[in-house]
Structure formats: structure tokens, C-alpha cells
């Protein structure tokens, strides 16, 4: 009997040449190529013309999360380079409160160069810029938490942690972009509608949307809705197990405001297309369907269990966590299409795409590779309408 847990990750591999990974965005957000997959047929367009490819009665669901300056670099007294990568707040655990903390907070962090850190207090400053507030962040290491560490941050309590992080941290570019973050990334690795701080990676499908494209959506009457999923570093975690059942999916926070929920329910009731802008929006939509009253998290394999009873409650604001894994064999309950970028080989994101288009994922990706499409976060886009 087939089980999703037996899916072999090697079956979702392809050759991605290094030169096809986009290291920089194009000068204009909406100038990217757009591959369109509709009812099994592949065509090409330019992203600024995406409105001509969308169903007129579609609902587009965006993720308004904002990327924080999650990456910090400092050195030990002996000169060893230490890199701190903030993953999620621990004290306090609620994201907005953590960013508004003054004086002290604790986060779970990746630590690069940890073996060279002998435990002494580290410090990071933003230099002596005359036109800026000068910050000094003191960093201590607590207990180990799996592949991460408990990191204690302390600073003068006249500023919030959000202000300190903005000053001393850097935009955390994905690990496959082999360069340091530059000033231009401050704008371009952020969507134009980013609002809710908390992500350590951008919802990259939304990076293509410009003010011009948003205006054309409005002019042509295409409805939009906005939710929040704070993207964690786990989105880049490679699948290293032979079968997907042994891979632990990362957990992320989702917020679905009442107006967004109302639009989703109305579109679903009317049988209209609901198109997720990015994999984060799609995972949020599908997780919303499986959320049970009184529970704060949708577990990785919950929808695949025969005895999983659905108790969807649509009467309240939905704020929850999800580690839902969407793999071939899963039946989409809310999303009917997706706007997304091209994803890494052997990744959970590629499995999600294969869930939507089946074995055609290879045909889509081979077409993109043969037609000079750019891949991954700063790359080109595709619109999948199975």
C-alpha cells in the first residue's frame, strides 16, 4: 500500500548548474520571465503581464511577512569569526513582544564558528556613524538546542531589539547566494508590501510584484487578500534522508486576519480560483483547512492520517503554527493554483510543486532550464494552474 512517507527524495532531483542560480535580482522587479503552466500546456510571458494570465475571478493570497536583519557577524578576542543567525524568540516567545523588548531578550540561533567561541561575552556595534544612533549589543551563549543554541542578547534599554537588530544585523541572504549582502538587498530582498516583522527569508514569489503590477490587478478587478507566515531558516534545510518520512519539517507561525479569512471562505463557496502567491501562502491556506478547534498547531503528517477528524472553525481570527508537509498524494483543499519561483533539487518545496502538477514538474523545469530561466530566490517566476 502506498504511503507518502515512502516517497524517495532522489526521485525529485535534477541538475541545476551553478550559473543558473540568480545572484542578483533584475533591475526591475516585474521584468522577470514568467513560465505559465495551464491545463498541461506551457507558455511564456513577462511577469509585468501576469494579470493577462490570471483567471478574472481569481483571489490572490499574499504573505506580508517582513525579513529581519537576522544575521550578525562578530569576532572573539582571539580574532575568530562568529556568525549569529536568529531563528526564533524564546524570551519572550511572542514575536512582536520580542522585537519591542528593551535591554534583554533570548533567541534560538544558529552559530557559525561555534567551536572557536570559548564562551566569553561577544560584542557587536554599528560603528561610529555620526548620523545614526550608536548601538552595542552584548551576546552570551546558553544551552545547546539541537543544531542551534540559546543566545542571550543585552543592550542599553533605551532602544528596542528591533532597532538594535536593524542597526547591527544584516539581511540574511539564502545560503546558495554566495556573496555578502549589499545595500541594494535591503530593498530587493523585501516585498513592497512587507509589514509584519519576523522572517529570516523572503517570500520570494512576491518579490516580483511591483506597484505597477498591483495597480493592474486592482484595475482588472482581481481580488487580493493578505495573511502572514513568518518564514524560518528551515525552508532551506536540505532533505538528507532517503525517504521523506524521516525528514522533520520545520514549524512556522501563521496569522490569518478576519478579512483575509472572509475572502477565502467567500471565494471557496463561490467556486472561484484561489491562487497562492508563493509556497508560504499555499502552506498557510492548506494548514488553515486542517486546523482543529482548540489546537494551536497543524502537525506534519496530520492530514495523511485516516482517523484525523476535521473540526474547522472559521468564526475567529486564526493564529497558529504549522509544520504541514505537502507531498505528492496530498489533495489540495483550498489553493487551486500558485505563483512561485523555481526551487532547489531534492527540496520539500519541489515536492510541493510536484503535488500540484504531478510528473509534469520535470517537463516544467526542463523547459525553464532550456530557455535560460533564472532559478531560486532572485530568479524568474512561474504560474501553475493545473
Question: For the purposes of burial, counting CB atoms within 10 Å of the CB of 318, is it exposed (0-12), middle (13-18) or buried (19 or more)?
Answer: buried
Q: Determine, yes or no, domain membership for 266.
A: yes
Give the span between the Cα atoms of 194 and 188, in whole angstroms: 11
What pLDDT band is residue 263 in, cutting at 50, 70 and 90?
Answer: very high
Instruction: Find, among 1, 16, 25, the residue nearest to 204 by Cα.
Output: 25
Which phi and psi angles does 381 have, rounded to 5°? -120, 165
Q: Quote the number of domains for the chain.
A: 2
Q: Does some domain include residue 97?
A: yes
Whether 180 is in a domain gets the answer no
| Length of the chain, in residues | 386
CA distances from 281 to 66, 89, 255, 346 (A): 14, 22, 11, 21
Assigned domain for 280 exists: yes
- The answer on 75 and 63 residing in a single domain is no
Residues 227 and 314 in one domain: yes
201-247 pLDDT per residue, tens: 999 999 999 999 999 999 999 999 999 999 987 777 788 999 999 99
Q: Tell me the CA distances in angstroms from 162 to 41, 84, 105, 122, 193, one per residue in order.
A: 46, 16, 11, 19, 19
- What strands lie across the sheet with 71-75, from one edge to the other? 71-75, 81-91, 104-112, 148-154, 136-145, 122-125
Q: Which residue bears the cell 497562492?
A: 276
**78 and 58, same structural domain?**
no
In percent, the amount of the chain with pLDDT more than 70 equals 95
Whether residues 60 and 117 share a domain: the answer is no
CB 287 within 8 A of CB 352: no
Q: What average pLDDT does the segment 268-291 reach?
A: 95
pLDDT band at 291 (very low <50, low <70, confident <90, very high): confident
Q: Are residues 153 and 234 in the same domain?
A: no
User: pLDDT band at 133, cuts 50/70/90?
Assistant: low
CA distance linking residue 350 with residue 352, whole number of Å: 5
The answer to whether residues 259 and 376 belong to one domain is: yes
Domain end residue (candidates: 135, 169, 203) = 169
| Three state DSSP letters for 185-227 | HHHHCCCCCCCEEEECCCCHHHHHCCHHHHHHHHHCCCEEEEE
Domain hosting residue 154, numbered range: 71-169
Check whether residue 198 and residue 313 sit in a common domain. Answer: yes
Q: How far is CA 366 from CA 15, 25, 210, 384, in A?
A: 10, 22, 28, 15
In a domain, 181, yes or no: no
Judge if 53 and 195 occupy the same domain.
yes
Rounded distance between C-alpha atoms, residue 161 and residue 105, angstroms = 8
Does any domain span residue 182? no
Co-location of 113 and 43 in the same domain: no
Give the CATH number for residue 377: 3.40.1780.10
- For residue 306, is pLDDT > 70? no
309 burial level (CB within 10 Å; 0-12, 13-18, 19+): exposed
Report yes or no on 18 lying in a domain: yes
Among residues 138, 169, 200, which one ends one of the domains?
A: 169
- What is the residue whose three cell numbers read 562568529? 82
| pTM attached to this predicted model | 0.91
Query: Does residue 36 belong to any structural domain of this protein?
Result: yes
Residues 370 and 230 both lie in one domain:
yes
How do residues 146-188 score in pLDDT, each as one tens digit?
Answer: 889 999 999 998 899 999 999 999 999 998 999 999 999 999 9
Co-location of 331 and 372 in the same domain:
yes
Based on the domain organization, do 304 and 357 belong to the same domain? yes
Cell of 300: 506534519
- The count of other CB atoms within 10 Å of the CB of residue 385 is 20
The dihedral through the CA atoms of 173, 178, 179, 182 has a sign that is negative
Amino acid at each position: 500500500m502506498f504511503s507518502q512517507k515512502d516517497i524517495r527524495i532522489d526521485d525529485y532531483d535534477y541538475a541545476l548548474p551553478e550559473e543558473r542560480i540568480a545572484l542578483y535580482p533584475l533591475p526591475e522587479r516585474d521584468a522577470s520571465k514568467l513560465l505559465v503552466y495551464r491545463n498541461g500546456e506551457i507558455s511564456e510571458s513577462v511577469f509585468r503581464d501576469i494579470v493577462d494570465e490570471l483567471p478574472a475571478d481569481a483571489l490572490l493570497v499574499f504573505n506580508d511577512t517582513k525579513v529581519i536583519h537576522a544575521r550578525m557577524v562578530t569576532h572573539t578576542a582571539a580574532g575568530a569569526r562568529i556568525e549569529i543567525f536568529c531563528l526564533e524568540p524564546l524570551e519572550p516567545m511572542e514575536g512582536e513582544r520580542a522585537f519591542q523588548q528593551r535591554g534583554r531578550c533570548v533567541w534560538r540561533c544558529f552559530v557559525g564558528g561555534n567551536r572557536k567561541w570559548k564562551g566569553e561575552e561577544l560584542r557587536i556595534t554599528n560603528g561610529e556613524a555620526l548620523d545614526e544612533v550608536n548601538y552595542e549589543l552584548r551576546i552570551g551563549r546558553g544551552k545547546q538546542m539541537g543544531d542551534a543554541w540559546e543566545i542571550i542578547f543585552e543592550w542599553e534599554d533605551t532602544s528596542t531589539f528591533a532597532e538594535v537588530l536593524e542597526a547591527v544585523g544584516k539581511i540574511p541572504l539564502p545560503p546558495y547566494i554566495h556573496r555578502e549582502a549589499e545595500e541594494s538587498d535591503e530593498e530587493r530582498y523585501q516585498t513592497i508590501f512587507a509589514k509584519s516583522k519576523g522572517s529570516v527569508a523572503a517570500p520570494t514569489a512576491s518579490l516580483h510584484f511591483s506597484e505597477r503590477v498591483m495597480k493592474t490587478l486592482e484595475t482588472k478587478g482581481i481580488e487580493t487578500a493578505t495573511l502572514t507566515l513568518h518564514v524560518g531558516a528551515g525552508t532551506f534545510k536540505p532533505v538528507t534522508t532517503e525517504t521523506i518520512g524521516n525528514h522533520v519539517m520545520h514549524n512556522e507561525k501563521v496569522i490569518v486576519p478576519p478579512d483575509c479569512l472572509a475572502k477565502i471562505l467567500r471565494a471557496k463557496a463561490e467556486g472561484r480560483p484561489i491562487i497562492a502567491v508563493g509556497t508560504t501562502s499555499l502552506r498557510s491556506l492548506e494548514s488553515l483547512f486542517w486546523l482543529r478547534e482548540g489546537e494551536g498547531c497543524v502537525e506534519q503528517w496530520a492530514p495523511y492520517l485516516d482517523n484525523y477528524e476535521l473540526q474547522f472553525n472559521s468564526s475567529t481570527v486564526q493564529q497558529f503554527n504549522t509544520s504541514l508537509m505537502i507531498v505528492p498524494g496530498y489533495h489540495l483543499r483550498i489553493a487551486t493554483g500558485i505563483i512561485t519561483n523555481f526551487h532547489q533539487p531534492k527540496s520539500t518545496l519541489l515536492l510541493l510543486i510536484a503535488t500540484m502538477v504531478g510528473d509534469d514538474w520535470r517537463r516544467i523545469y526542463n523547459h525553464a532550464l532550456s530557455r535560460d530561466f533564472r532559478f531560486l530566490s532572485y530568479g524568474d517566476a512561474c504560474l501553475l494552474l493545473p
